[in-house]
Amino acid sequence: MSAPAKKKIEEQPKLHGILGEFRNPKALYDVAALTVKSGYNKFDTYSPFPIHGIDKAMNLKKSKLGWIVIGHGLVGFCGALTMMYFMAVMDYPMNISGKPFFNAPAWVPITFELTVLLSAFGAVFGMFFLNGLPKLNNPLFNVDRFKKATDDGFFICIEAEDSLFETEKVKELLKEAGATHIEEVYD
C-alpha cells in the first residue's frame, strides 16, 4: 500500500454503528428483543422516556446503584456519629440541661440528615458515574435525525464494536424489524 493511500484510510471516519429508527415504543421493544436474540450485546436503544419493560427485552442486569447508595449512606451515618462523639464528648464536652454527653436521642436528627444527604449524593453522582455522564461528545450527535430521540423518536444503535457486527447483516435485521429509517453513524 502506498503512503498517500494509507493516509486516506486513516482520515476516513470510523464507523460507530448502525442506527435504526422505529415507529413507537412497541416496535422498539420488539427490535430490542430481536437484537438480543440475534446475539448482539453491544447495542443500545434510545427513547424520549424509559420504556416499561424494555430492560427485559434488552436483557439488562440489575443496576448496581443500590450498593453505591448504601455505601454512601453508611459513611454519612458513621461520619455523623463520629463527628458528634468527637466534638461533644471527647474534644469539648459541655453539660447541656443535665443530659449525658453522649445524648443519643438528641443526636438522631443530625445522624438521620447526614445519612440521607450522603445517600442522595451517592444516588445522583453514582447514577451519573454508572451512565458515564457527563459526556458531551457522542458520535450519535453527528446524526441530525437523532435529535428526535429526545422528542418523539425511537432508535436502536447496534455498535460496530460488537463481535458479530457486519454492516449489511445489521441493516437487514433492522429493516426486517420494521425500521422506518436506517443510517450509518460515524465517529
Partner 1 sequence: MSKYDYVPEPALVKGDHDFASLTRLVTDINLRPTPKGWYLAMIGANALLAVLGIAVGYLIWEGTGVWGLNNPVGWGWAIINFVWWVGIGHAGTLISAVLFLFRQDWRTAINRFSEAMTIFAVMCAGVFPAIHVGRIWVIYWVFPVPNQMAMWPNFNSPLLWDVFAVSTYFTVSFLFWYVGLVPDLATIRDRATDKIRKYAYGIFSLGWTGSNRHWWNYEKAYMILAGLATPLVLSVHTIVSFDFAVSLIPGWHTTIFPPYFVAGAIFSGFAMVLTLMIVARKIYGMKDIMTDDHMEKMNIVIMVTGSMVGFAYMMEFFIAWYSGVEYEKAIFLLRATGPYAWAYWAMMTCNVLSPQFFWFKKLRRSVGFTFFISIVVNIGMWFERFVITVTSLANDYLPSSWDYYSPTIWDILTYVGTFGLFFTMFLLFLRFLPMIALAEVKMVIPQADPHNYDENHDYQAPKVEIPTPKAVEA
Partner 2 sequence: MSHKPTITDSLEFPQNSMIPRAAFGLGFAGLIASFIGYFLQPDQFFFSYIVSFTFFAGISLSALITVMLHHITKASWGTVFKRFFEVFSSNIWVWAIFFIPVLLGMHNLYHWTHPELFDKASAEFDKILYGKSAYLNQTFFIVRQVIYFAIWGWLGHKLYKASVEMDKTSDWGMTTLMRKISAPGIPLFALSVAFAGFDWLMSLDPHWFSTMFGVYFFAINFQAFWPVMILLVFFLQRQGILKDTIKQVHIYDLGAWFFAFTVFYAYIAFSQFLLIYYANLPEETLWFYNRLEGGFEYIAYGLLIFRFALPFLLLINREAKRSRFMLGLVSVIVLVMHFLEIYWISMPANHAGDAHGLHFSWIDIATFLGLGGMFFGLFFNKFKKESMIPQNDPKMDECLSKSYHH
Q: Which of residues 134-163 bind partner 1 (CB under 8 A)?
A: 134-138, 140, 146-152
Among 5, 7, 10, 97, binds partner 1 (CB under 8 A): 97
**Of the candidate residues 97, 134, 135, 136, the single one contacting partner 2 (CB under 8 A):** 97
**Binding of partner 2 at residue 30 (CB under 8 A)?**
no
For residue 53, state whether it binds partner 1 (rule: CB under 8 A). yes
Instruction: Report the residue number, 27 or 174, with the smaller CB distance to partner 1.
Output: 27
- Grid cell locating 147: 435529535
Residue closer to partner 2 (CB basis): 55 or 162? 55
- Respond yes or no on whether the N-terminal peptide bond of residue 13 is cis (omega within 30° of 0): no
- Residue 104 binds partner 1, judged by CB under 8 A: no
Distance CA 67, CA 130 (A): 12
Please, how many CA atoms are within 13 Å of residue 50, restricted to the half-sphere of its CB?
Answer: 5
Give the number of C-alpha atoms closer than 13 A to the C-alpha of residue 90, restricted to the C-beta side. Answer: 7
Phi and psi torsions of 102, nearest 5°: -85, 85
C-beta of 95: minimal distance to partner 2 in Å?
14
**Pairing mode, strands 43-46 and 181-186:** unpaired
**Binding test (CB under 8 A) with partner 1, winner from 87, 142, 167, 181:** 87
